[in-house]
Structure 1
Amino acid sequence: MIEMDTPVLKAIRERRSIRKFTGDAVSREDILTILEAGRWAPSGLNNQPWRFLVIPAGDPRQEKLAECTKYAHVVRQSAALICITLDKERMYSEMKDHQGAGACIQNMLLAVHDLGLGAVWLGQIINDQDAALEAAGIPDTQELQAVLAIGQPAQDGTSTRLELADLMLEEF
């Protein structure tokens, strides 16, 4: 196996999706750190088209968003939700902007892991874009990319990966 013992490579390897939370709060400072990590993601032409909406536990929009996904139990348990959108007026290339949003979300997930918190990337919720935007109170000038459910982890995540050789289109 390739050595992955630097802090960044270790975080990439150890980060897991967490779908169960303790119910304990996540500090405002931690949320701001997560948002800052997302802000520093790369984007085409440095256009930074992403926008964020934080919905804390107990906000009525949390329940409305829960009704928009088959992962309602995860949404309801979270200490905070972060909705990541793309500002349609800032977008210049649909594919590049979606790739940038993915990089933004991954940065945020790595920050969550580094802070000792847990999170899961809820992508299924965007299948009904109109309902999710309305539930969160987000204007239709935005395109919802994902919702991150964040909290104090109540489980250890697990994961497996295909062998690198199985992912290669050809040897090099």
Structure 2
Amino acid sequence: MKDILNIIKTRRSVRHFSDKKLPAAGIVKILEAGRWAPSGLNNQPWRFLVVEDKGLRDRIAAFTAYGSVIRRAAAILIVCLDTADSYNRDKDLMAVGASIQNMLLEAKNLGIGTCWLGEILNKKREVADTLELNKDLDLLAVVAMGYPAGKKQKGCRKALKELLINGSKYS
């Protein structure tokens, strides 16, 4: 078994991808990781759409200042909250976030780079209309995926003691 903390610490947002196509088996493993995230009442409110078609990805890319990331990716993962399956929006948003994190980590485990794009949500309605999403599906994330190209990035984080409340002893 791989060291999960090492995978967490070495995962980075990848914005440059090779031309290599993603294997279907790898995509399925990434989706499986998302499927197994925790959710309140086990309602599993997430829904996924994988877009590999370049023409459709290019149309989606037009809705964000970071469209070049989408255009360079081998695929994009659309993550939605199924509002018809939602029982508490706050809890369900956390569950979808956990699902996305699971998928990012599994992608890293498989050597696949990802970039969780947020700015595109400013045009979420346009993206949803382009994808012809059911009105019950609330777009929450677009994740670019592909094999990384370019140099590896280093990460940095605040010291643990800066994040602990009331001087906890765990710093």
User: What TM-score, normalized by structure 2, do the two folds share?
Assistant: 0.93
User: How far 1:159 sits from its partner (Å)?
Assistant: 2.0
Check the 8 A contact 1:64/1:136 in 2, yes or no.
Answer: no
Give me the whole-angstrom Cα distance separating, in 1, the residues matched to 2:74 and 2:147: 8
Give me the whole-angstrom Cα distance separating, in 1, the residues matched to 2:38 and 2:4: 16
2:156 aligned partner: 160
Give me the whole-angstrom Cα distance separating, in 2, the residues matched to 1:149 and 1:22: 12
Check the 8 A contact 2:10/2:155 in 1, yes or no.
Answer: no
Query: Is 1:113 matched with 2:119?
Result: no
Percent of pairs identical after alignment? 40
Structure 1 unmatched ranges of 5 or more: 1-5
Paired residue total: 166
SS at match of 2:149: coil
Give me the whole-angstrom Cα distance separating, in 1, the residues matched to 2:122 and 2:41: 28
Query: Is 1:73 matched with 2:68?
Result: yes
1:3 aligned partner: none
1:97 aligned partner: 92
Give the partner amino acid of 2:18.
T
2:58 aligned partner: 63
User: What TM-score, normalized by structure 1, do the two folds share?
Assistant: 0.93
1:37 aligned partner: 33
Check the 8 A contact 1:122/1:147 in 2, yes or no.
Answer: yes
Query: Is 1:47 matched with 2:14?
Result: no
User: How far 1:15 sits from its partner (Å)?
Assistant: 0.8
Check the 8 A contact 1:57/1:78 in 2, yes or no.
Answer: no
Give me the whole-angstrom Cα distance separating, in 1, the residues matched to 2:154 and 2:133: 33
Structure 2 unmatched ranges of 5 or more: none
User: How far 1:158 sits from its partner (Å)?
Assistant: 2.8
User: How far 1:137 sits from its partner (Å)?
Assistant: 2.3
2:144 aligned partner: 149
Give me the whole-angstrom Cα distance separating, in 1, the residues matched to 2:121 and 2:130: 12
